[in-house]
Amino acid sequence: MIAARLGFEAPDPAVRLELTSALHARPTGLLTGAACGVIVGSVAANSTSQPLLFWIAMTLIVLACTRALTAIGAKSWHNAAGDFLRRTYWIGALLYAAAAGAAGGTSLMLAEDPHVSILLVGFALIFGAGIAVGNAGRPAIAFSQMALTFLPIVAGCLVVGTAPLLALAVILPALKVGLVVLTLGIFTTLSKEVEAARQSRQLAHEMREQARTDGITKLANRTGFEVAGKALLERADPEAQVALIWLDLHRFKEVNDMLGHTMGDQVLCETAKRLRRRAPEGALIARFGSDEFLILASLASRRAVDALVSEINSDLASPMRIGGHRIESGASIGVGLAGPSARTLDPLMHQAGLALYHAKIAGRHQICFFNSAMTRNLVRKKEIEAELRAAIQKDELSIYFQPIVDLATGRIRAFEALVRWFHPERGELVPEEFIPVAEDTGLIITLGNWITRQAALTAAQWPKHIKLAVNLSPVQIRAPGAALGILKALEDAGIHPSRLELEVTENLFVEDNAETALFMEELAAQGVRFALDDFGTGYSSLHYINKYPFRTIKVDRSFVSGPKTGRKSDAIIRAVAEMGNTLGMEIVAEGLETAEQVQVVRAAGCTLGQGYHFSRAVPEHLARLLLAEEELLDTGTRLAG
């Protein structure tokens, strides 16, 4: 501490530690000096008959050997013994300097052979001068060594008293002053360089941490998770259950769009806070994407994993109070589990990602654990996606048309366009097999546009009072320019927009966003009609009917021909029909298979019917045939009248 205040030591403990460590980093110089000391001491001991000089020379040899062993141990041993040797380095340094100086000074007074005096004095002076550079990182030690080396020689010169030695006694203090100045200069330069290097390393460390940290939540980001995740897996207890929990927040985009990104950031921070509070000690938490979070944790058992995931799901489902707003979010959660023999990050990420995908399909607030069937399903999904893209290009798809009949007259009022895929190897693939894949991959946009265009071109050949019904996926509606694309297809086909009825299901309105309303309003203004399909199977909110421009309600087939039809289902149909008639809407009963069912729904107030009782979905030419038969029937009726 005193040396530091005098300017003989670096004030920063970290810099002092580095300078001290540098003394032991390369012990070559010290070992060379020790070897020289052994040689000099051996020659002096063999060349003198003076007991004092002999024992001083022997002490020099012993200290030289000790110094060599100390240097090797301090460099090689990374344990308590090595630490002890590094801490006591200065004691050996001072003793060795004192022995070298004592040998030189004593030889001036006692050596019978002047050559021995030259050897010992020369070695002491060279050693003392070399200290200025060798120990410049610790000036206090260097100054002490120089003093212990030079002072005995100065004393010897004064005792002998010859003119040359008196001159040497005067020169040596001046030499020491010069060496002190040199040592301090080297020390100052070294201190600055070490400090600069230390700050550079600290800055690099801070930048590396910033690059691995999410700026909003202060959790690990994608890069940080990959680095820390691999380390966590490597040190995890082999007997523990390692789980990767992947969360995707609900309605986060809606918060950003409606309340602003500042509010969205606060939602992310609140989510991170809840995850920190719930995650077990030692778990790694990361924000992996815009609204996705990861938790990698080592737990005692699968039961502990189940409990943790359930608690997280419950925490996130609780409403947030932020800035006076009540925000209900929640998350879909996928979980991957790492076995004791297969703890690598990439496969675990793959498992959790697949589980999250299935959880999102299952609905809001769902939890899904990975199982091997998910991989098989993914492979099948990829196959269907690739084959469907090729099928669109190769014109392997067909449009079939199922008539929608006026229950009062029995005449066809419209056709619903339904896509059919006749695979050259697998045969006919049902829509339930490939439509979900098209929706998940975004291919439904291309497929939906193709269906609308082909169906419109066919409808252009029908009588103008026959309408066309086309199913619309929520993914299509959210695609940029969706409304313009539909209007362009109608224009190219040459049919008026009022002949098109777009059928949408209630799951479109789960998020109830502005994009959906704008899309429907834009098309409705041009005359396009909208039908609420599968009514009664989803949320069945009357709010949708009141808010959006629906002209038709299609009662789901489960109320008409399902296994639980009866008084309750009939009452529901009557209630829906009465509501629709009051609002001036068409009510379509789906799934009609028998004449009795037709009578029931007609009596209940339904205006239109669709089902196998009237006709299955048929190819384009058979649809024209059905219309031709009606035209002939109408002609015959007119002639008979």
Annotated domain spans of the chain: 2-205, 222-370, 380-640
- The predicted pLDDT at position 246 comes to 94
pLDDT at 47 > cutoff 80: yes
CA-to-CA separations, 631 to 174, 281, 615, 625, 638, in angstroms, rounded: 128, 77, 17, 10, 11
pLDDT band at 468 (very low <50, low <70, confident <90, very high): very high
Q: Which pLDDT tens digit goes with each residue over 104-151?
A: 888 888 877 889 888 888 888 888 777 766 676 677 777 888 888 889
In contact, 415 and 466? CB cutoff 8 Å: yes
138 CB-near residues (< 8 Å, 6+ apart): 9, 19, 20, 23, 90
- Inform me whether the pLDDT recorded for 392 exceeds 50: yes
- Residues 522 and 499: their CA atoms lie apart, in Å, by 16
Q: What is the pLDDT of residue 641?
A: 56
Q: How far apart are CA 47 and CA 54, in angstroms?
A: 9
Per DSSP, the residues of 124-187 read: HHHHHHHHHHHTTTSHHHHHHHHHHHHHHHHHHHHHH--HHHHHHHHHHHHHHHHHHHHHHHHH
pLDDT tens string 575-633 = 888 888 888 899 999 999 999 999 989 998 999 999 999 999 999 999 999 999 888 87
Contact 89, 144 (CB under 8 A): no
Give pLDDT, residue 527.
Answer: 94
Cα 56 → chain centroid: 69
pLDDT value at residue 76: 62
pLDDT at 278 over 80: yes
Nearest to 365 by CA among 299, 409, 324, 315: 315
Most confident of 63-72, 194-203, 456-465, 582-591: 456-465
- The DSSP call for residue 618 is B
- 498 has a pLDDT exceeding 90: yes
Task: Give the containing element (helix H, strand E) for 76.
Answer: helix 51-76
What average pLDDT does the chain have?
Answer: 82
Per DSSP, helices labelled H in 538-566 are 542-547
- The C-alpha R_g of the chain, in whole angstroms, comes to 45
pLDDT value for 13: 55
What is the Cα–Cα distance from 126 to 133, expressed in whole angstroms? 12
What is the distance between the alpha carbons of residues 416 and 400, in angstroms, rounded to a whole number? 8
Top pLDDT among 637 and 421 is at 421
**What pLDDT is stored for residue 2 in this prediction?**
36
Sign of CA dihedral 118, 124, 127, 130: negative
Name which residue leads in pLDDT, 114 or 256: 114
| C-alpha–C-alpha distance, residues 184 and 133, integer Å | 10
Residue 545 pLDDT > 90: no
Q: Is the pLDDT of residue 511 over 60?
A: no
449, pLDDT greater than 60: yes
**CATH ID of 380-640, from 3.40.50.2300, 3.20.20.450, 3.60.150.10, 2.40.340.10:** 3.20.20.450
CA distance 530 to 506: 12
* Cα–Cα distance for residue pair 506/210, rounded to 1 Å: 44
Retrieve residue 53's tokens: 């000089």
Question: Rounded distance, CA 321 to CA 326, Å?
Answer: 5
Checking if the pLDDT of 413 tops 90, the result is yes
pLDDT for position 525: 92
Contacts with 148 (C-beta within 8 Å, 6 or more apart), sequence order = 94, 97, 98, 101
Q: Give the amino acid at 404.
A: I
Closest C-alpha among 312, 280, 307 to residue 296: 280
| Same fold: 222-370 with 380-640 | no
Question: Pick the residue with more confidence: 618 or 258?
Answer: 618
**635 C-beta neighbours (distance < 10 Å), count:** 10
Contact criterion met (CB below 8 Å) for 468 and 501: yes
* 420 touches 398 (CB < 8 A): yes
Average pLDDT over residues 35-51: 87
Q: Find the mean pLDDT for residues 394-405.
A: 91
As a whole number of angstroms, the distance between CA 193 and CA 199 comes to: 10
Lowest mean pLDDT among 207-221, 268-282, 587-601: 207-221
- Report angle CA 552, 556, 557 to the nearest 5 degrees: 130
* Amino acid at residue number 575: A
Q: Is 528 helix (H, G, I), strand (E, B) or coil?
A: coil
Q: Would you state the pLDDT for residue 456?
A: 95
- CATH number given to 222-370: 3.30.70.270
Q: What is the pLDDT of residue 602?
A: 92
Strands 467-471 and 529-535: unpaired
